[in-house]
Amino acid sequence: MQWTLAKHPTFDPIEGPVLIVVMDGIGIGCHDESDAVFLARTPTLDWLGAQVPTVALRAHGTAVGLPSDDDMGNSEVGHNALGAGRIFDQGAKRVQQAIASEEIFESQVWKEQVERVQRTREPLHFIGLLSDGNVHSHIDHLFAMIRRCRRETVPKVRVHVLLDGRDVPETSCLTYVDALEALLAECNADGHDYRIASGGGRMTTTMDRYEADWEMVKRGWEVHVLGKGRTFPSARAAIETFRAEQPGIIDQYLPPFVIAEDGKPVGPIRDGAAVVFFNFRGDRAIEITRAFEEDDFNAFDRGPRPDVLFAGMMQYDGDLHLPKRYLVAPPNIDRTMGEYLARNEVTQFACSETQKFGHVTYFWNGNRSGAFDPNLETYVEIPSDDVPFDQRPWMKAAPITDATLAALRSGAHRFLRLNYPNGDMVGHTGKREATILAVQTVDLMLARLLPVVEALHGAILVTADHGNADQMYERDKNSGGWARRPDGTFKPRTSHTLNPVPCHIWAPGRQLRLRPIARPGLANVAATLLQLLGYQAPEGYEPSLLA
């Protein structure tokens, strides 16, 4: 492999440091009452848009390796594209292809799962996010596996449903639960024993990430594995009860629950069982995987660990080999910008708070944990607050900025990257006014960064990984207007958007010109950053945005 970066033939390197700012979830909306980005006071972003080379980038669908342009982008695939400079088939597309070709069912792991439960007569358990958001999972993937279990006469199946309301409408979970119950009833009609066993909202149960809240995983372990929790006769009964008890609660925050019959849980995970975690995205799957697989696990008291055959839909961490067994091979993202810079002895700095720290490190580096060269790379994680994001929409933007300003002024880092999670994490709450404050916070932090970049004769590229804050209301599919709740208020949107994202490039004192590119996307950013650093992009990279 040739790792030496060639000098750019026509562009002299920027004298000072080169910084990329990823404004997570801040896209280009319709400039209306739903658009928190438009409604926010953003003098810094307004100045950048008017004064420096600016282009809109595609950040969803095929531009980031997803199956179609109807698929929302997300932070994982967005940072993969930003850091790799190329487009790779991503989790959703890989799984879709593996199911369509039946490759997944011919895998040794799937055969071992089925053979084990046919022998032990314990259930094959499926745990994962029940929706068609296609960001962490897709309900069609689960349905395909359940139908295959039926075809292969797997006697018992138990499903542990994590309710979405984040990548799909906020109170849509019964649509997916009812569809699942219908399929299970169809299977049971010919003698099988297939049931929902437990569940809970994705922000209360199981799907923590970056070790921000292990209690979430503990609650999931207790209902999924131990069958310990508040019991109900069905998932629908649990959801309807919680909604009656807590008016206004949305799906992602529903408490955990256990399905019981005659006073006993119908699906605790016991010795001899097989378990498939059917999310394909890794960040919110790693911790529950560790609970099932690690011998010296100590994040919480899990009690006696059942002897099960555990598999993920994909491998969630290639460096840590988590999980050991997986059904579909993940994309092999190689030759990332971070690795090229490390091998060319270019110093790097990466910073965010816990909620997005892995995005500017793990995902940016092509799903690789750790630094390529710790002597050349500095990674700074700012611990996130453990409070609802709409209650503190400023999050940790100021400490992230403080750390980045110190890194800039130190002169120790040639290339720096940071992520402000505010637009995404607060946008997911569906609270428009809080999201406006989140966007304004990011703009204020940019106002702190720009003068320092200018004083150091550096360059800054400001972009986003996908949209979210740019559309805070759901569309009515029939009228095309805003959907409304029964009380007449607009129905909040909590998921990502299909909108493009801004890209502003400023190098004080340098004349920059944009290259005409037909459909620029996030994958064009890596070559752009390399050009600012004075390098020609490696073979196969999408072209730079700059002429």
Where are the chain's structural domains? Answer: 18-89+333-532, 92-328
Query: Which two structure tokens, joined as six digits, stand for 521?
Result: 């996307």
CA distances from 33 to 40, 170, 314 (A): 11, 19, 40
Cα distance between residue 195 and residue 265, in whole Å: 11
Provide the phi-psi class of 11: left if phi over 0, else alpha when psi is between -120 and 50, else beta: beta
Q: What are phi and psi of 436, to 5 degrees?
A: -60, -45
List beta partners, residue 201.
163
Domain at 18-89+333-532, CATH homologous superfamily: Alkaline Phosphatase, subunit A (3.40.720.10)
Cα distance between residue 473 and residue 483, in whole Å: 7
List beta partners, residue 416.
19, 349
More confident residue, 157 or 72: 157
pLDDT range class, residue 535, cuts 50, 70, 90: very high
Q: Which residues contact 103 (CB under 8 A, 6 or more apart)?
A: 97, 328
Which segments of 168-302 does DSSP mark as H helices, in order? 173-188, 214-224, 235-245, 286-293
Checking if the pLDDT of 316 tops 90, the result is no
Checking if the pLDDT of 319 tops 70, the result is no
Which of 325, 324, 330, 327 is closest to 313 using CA atoms?
327
Q: In this predicted model, what pLDDT tens digit does every residue of 482-530 receive, in sequence order?
A: 888 888 889 899 889 999 999 999 999 999 999 999 999 999 999 999 9
Checking if the pLDDT of 329 tops 90, the result is no
Please give the radius of gyration of the chain, using alpha carbons only, rounded to the nearest integer.
Answer: 24
Which of 269, 271, 287, 275 is closest to 312 using CA atoms?
275
Are the C-beta atoms of 435 and 423 separated by less than 8 Å? Answer: yes
Check residue 465 and give its pLDDT. 97
| Counts for the chain of helices (H) and strands (E), in that order | 17, 16
Mean pLDDT of the chain: 96
The identity of residue 242, as a single letter, is: F
Q: In this predicted model, what pLDDT tens digit does every residue of 491-501 receive, in sequence order?
A: 899 889 999 99
Sign of the Cα torsion 178, 135, 35, 430 reads positive
pLDDT range class, residue 477, cuts 50, 70, 90: confident
Active site members: 75
Cα distance between residue 425 and residue 391, in whole Å: 11
Q: In this predicted model, what pLDDT tens digit does every residue of 390-427 receive, in sequence order?
A: 999 999 999 999 999 999 999 999 999 999 999 999 99
Check residue 475 and give its pLDDT. 86
Q: In this predicted model, what pLDDT tens digit does every residue of 422-462 receive, in sequence order?
A: 999 999 999 999 999 999 999 999 999 999 999 999 999 99
Checking if the pLDDT of 67 tops 90, the result is no
Query: Which two structure tokens, joined as six digits, stand for 523?
Result: 């994958």
Of all residues in the chain, what percent carry a pLDDT higher than 90? 89
Calculate mean pLDDT across residues 228-244. 98
Checking if the pLDDT of 536 tops 90, the result is yes
Calculate mean pLDDT across residues 344-355. 98
Q: Decide which of 3.40.1450.10, 1.20.120.450, 3.40.50.300, 3.40.50.12780 is the CATH code for 92-328.
A: 3.40.1450.10
Strands 326-328 and 193-201: unpaired
Which of 14, 2, 1 is closest to 530 using CA atoms?
14
pLDDT range class, residue 277, cuts 50, 70, 90: very high
Q: Which residues contact 108 (CB under 8 A, 6 or more apart)?
A: none
Cα distance between residue 90 and residue 58, in whole Å: 16
Check residue 438 and give its pLDDT. 98
Check residue 466 and give its pLDDT. 97
Checking if the pLDDT of 356 tops 80, the result is yes
Query: Which two structure tokens, joined as six digits, stand for 209?
Result: 């990430």
Calculate mean pLDDT across residues 236-241. 98
Are the C-beta atoms of 492 and 386 separated by less than 8 Å? Answer: no
Calculate mean pLDDT across residues 477-485. 83
CA distances from 373 to 378, 382, 543 (A): 9, 21, 26
Checking if the pLDDT of 13 tops 70, the result is yes
Check residue 220 and give its pLDDT. 98
Tell me which residue has tokens 């919110």: 284
Q: For the chain, how many residues are written? A: 547
- Cα 270 to the center of its chain, rounded Å: 30
Checking if the pLDDT of 197 tops 70, the result is yes
Check residue 509 and give its pLDDT. 95
Check residue 317 and give its pLDDT. 76
pLDDT range class, residue 479, cuts 50, 70, 90: confident
DSSP for 22-56 reads: EETT-----SSTT-HHHHS--HHHHHHHHHS-EEE
More confident residue, 68 or 351: 351
CA distances from 245 to 216, 254, 304, 476 (A): 21, 11, 34, 28
Burial class (CB in 10 A: 0-12, 13-18, 19+), 460: buried
Check residue 280 and give its pLDDT. 94
User: What stretches of 319-458 adopt beta strand conformation (E)?
Assistant: 326-328, 348-353, 377-382, 415-420
Calculate mean pLDDT across residues 527-541. 98
* Segment of 65-74, 316-325, 389-398 carrying the highest mean pLDDT: 389-398
